[in-house]
Amino acid sequence: MSKIKFLFTYIIRLLLLLVVIFLASQFIYSFLPLNFSLRISTSLSIYSLFCFIFILFINKRNSYFKVTGKPKELICLILILLMFTSAYFSSTTYLITSELGNQLSFKEKLSIYTFQFSNLRTHQTNYNRLKIDKSVSVYGNVHIYYQESEEELLPVIHHSIDQAEALTTKLLGNVEDSSIDLILHESTEELYNQTSLEQTMGYFDDPNDIMGIAITDLPAILDDQLPHSFHFRSTILHEYTHYRLQAYIRQEGLYLYRIPLWFHEGVAEYIGMNNVAHPLHSFEETDFKHLVTHQDWEEYRLRGYHVYLQSYYAIKFIIDTYGEEIIRDIIEKTAITNDFEEGFKEATGLTIEMLQEKYIQIKPA
């Protein structure tokens, strides 16, 4: 019984020590600049490992500096916890700098460092399972996963990718491409069953660099029948634009989510609707401040607001007024100020509230 009590007490103390080290590290690394945090955490994990090895092995033969008994156990324990904690923050900081940019606030870094320990988990799609039993074709930087019955779609997909690359290069300039996957879903129902994404024909999963496109009617798409062929091509343009826009934002060293979601979706929809007459008609709109995050977007989209249409009209108004180069200018100014509203105003002379009033000059009845 005494051994069980001792073990229980030891585990409790170990957990408390781990929590203290983690929380202290979390606060310190959230306060420091990311590049400095990366150097410190990496160095600390290596130094902790070296000290642990020294005390555990070399210390036995060293008569000048010798640690034994409980002090040795405590120091070794602290070094082990410090080593693993530092390794965690080093790897997480590296992912932040490579994926999200360097310009994050204290609150944003704190949130990301604790994300893995949050209960607010999003649905995780097993993309490897989706690729099983599918053929793969490589076109440029895109790996296309499809069923044999869908092989005839490849020329359509290739043409859409070429078009998306040309349009996004014209809009954003040269973007450093990385390898991405495109998974074909046999229907919108199958896409929903696999991803839990409601009422959608496509997606781009940024952390995993994966596009998903639903096939609504295979024979109609192959025969170039409207609206199925248009929706299929337009969805590829839309999702590929998400990939390219996000790559450009990172290229500018900007935190990806510093740009509100309505801007992301509006640019993607602008490319997706290329050369398509989009007559103005009545639609349900909301304030742009309600369309900043993915959670905001899904809430208003599923409540019946025409968020894609609203964002499209906003971006079209901006481009029609200032030219296509304004998109790059807004992102570049945001990267300098580290604030979207400031960058937007500096680039356009408009506040978001002014955009809300101006983007549709004549409100539809």
Residues 256, 246 share a domain: no
Same structural domain, 149 and 220? yes
Q: Are 196 and 275 in contact (CB under 8 A)?
A: no
Mean pLDDT of 122-145: 87
Segment of 59-73, 88-102, 338-352 carrying the highest mean pLDDT: 338-352
Task: Give me the domain span that covers residue 109.
Answer: 11-117
Q: Do 263 and 346 fall into the same domain? A: yes
- Which pLDDT value is given to residue 278? 67
Are residues 341 and 330 located together in one domain of the fold?
Answer: yes
- What's the pLDDT band for 121 if we cut at 50, 70, 90? very low
- The rounded distance, in Å, linking the Cα atoms of 302 and 291 is 13
Domain final residue pick, 223, 250, 277? 250
Q: Is the whole model's pTM more than 0.85, yes or no? A: no
On whether residue 5 sits in a domain, the answer given is: no
Averaged pLDDT, 243-262: 91
Contact 146, 215 (CB under 8 A): no
Q: Determine the longest span between alpha carbons in the chain, in angstroms.
A: 90
Does residue 336 lie within any of the structural domains?
Answer: yes
* Structural domain contains residue 4: no
Does residue 112 lie in a domain region? Answer: yes
Assess whether 107 and 126 both reside in one domain.
Answer: no
Q: Report the alpha-carbon distance of residue 92 to residue 197 in Å, rounded.
A: 27
The pLDDT of residue 118 is 43
Q: Within a domain: residue 148?
A: yes
Percent of the chain with pLDDT over 90: 48
Q: What is the pLDDT of residue 153?
A: 96
Instruction: Verify that 272 and 336 share a domain, yes or no.
Output: yes
What's the start-to-end Cα distance of the chain, in Å?
A: 79
272 and 161 within one domain:
no
> Does residue 172 fall inside a structural domain?
yes
Same-domain check for residues 75 and 159:
no
Q: Are residues 336 and 274 in the same domain?
A: yes
The count of domains in the chain is 3
Asked if pLDDT for residue 65 goes beyond 60, the answer is: no
Are residue 110 and residue 156 in the same domain, yes or no?
A: no
- Report the distance separating Cα 305 and Cα 282, nearest Å: 11
| Residues 68, 17 share a domain | yes
Q: Are residues 55 and 113 in the same domain?
A: yes
Average pLDDT over residues 324-339: 94
